[in-house]
Amino acid sequence: MGTATAALATAARTEGPANGYADGSMVIVPFTITMSASYATGGDTVVLPSDIAGLEILALVLQQDKSGSNRYSLAGTQSAPLVQAFSAFNSEVSNATDLSAVTLRAVAFCQR
């Protein structure tokens, strides 16, 4: 199965780096997902940034769901998310497709 990598967003806002936002027990963490060089049928597993470890994930949201002619969606569970890729014809892209040039922005809504 392919593994997509995730990293904290570093320049998501024009006024400065976005290292997350915390208010009481709510933590909002922007990050990027880079798809794998060998897409796995059913979706690439997303390894979440270590900054999210220990937090309860309430929701994961893609800020963008298109790259080129493909569309992307989250699947799996909140603690073991997958990113699925679909072609312009709304069918899942082929197994072993190289999507390593695709970077998606996402946000994790967590609770301490």
Domain assignments of the chain as residue spans, ordered by start: 3-111
Alpha carbon 111 to its chain centroid, in Å, reads 18
Indicate the pTM of the whole model: 0.78
- How far is Cα 1 from Cα 17, in angstroms, rounded to an integer? 32
| CA distance linking residue 89 with residue 48, whole number of Å | 29
CATH of region 3-111: 2.60.40
Distance CA 88, CA 26 (A): 36
Q: What is the pLDDT of residues 47-77, one digit of tens each?
A: 888 778 788 888 889 988 888 889 999 998 8
Contact status, residue 69 vs residue 37, Cβ threshold 8 Å:
no
pLDDT tens per residue across all 112 residues of the chain: 567 666 665 544 433 344 556 667 888 888 889 999 999 999 999 888 877 878 888 888 998 888 888 999 999 887 788 999 999 888 999 999 999 999 998 888 888 8
CB atoms near residue 77 (< 10 Å): 10
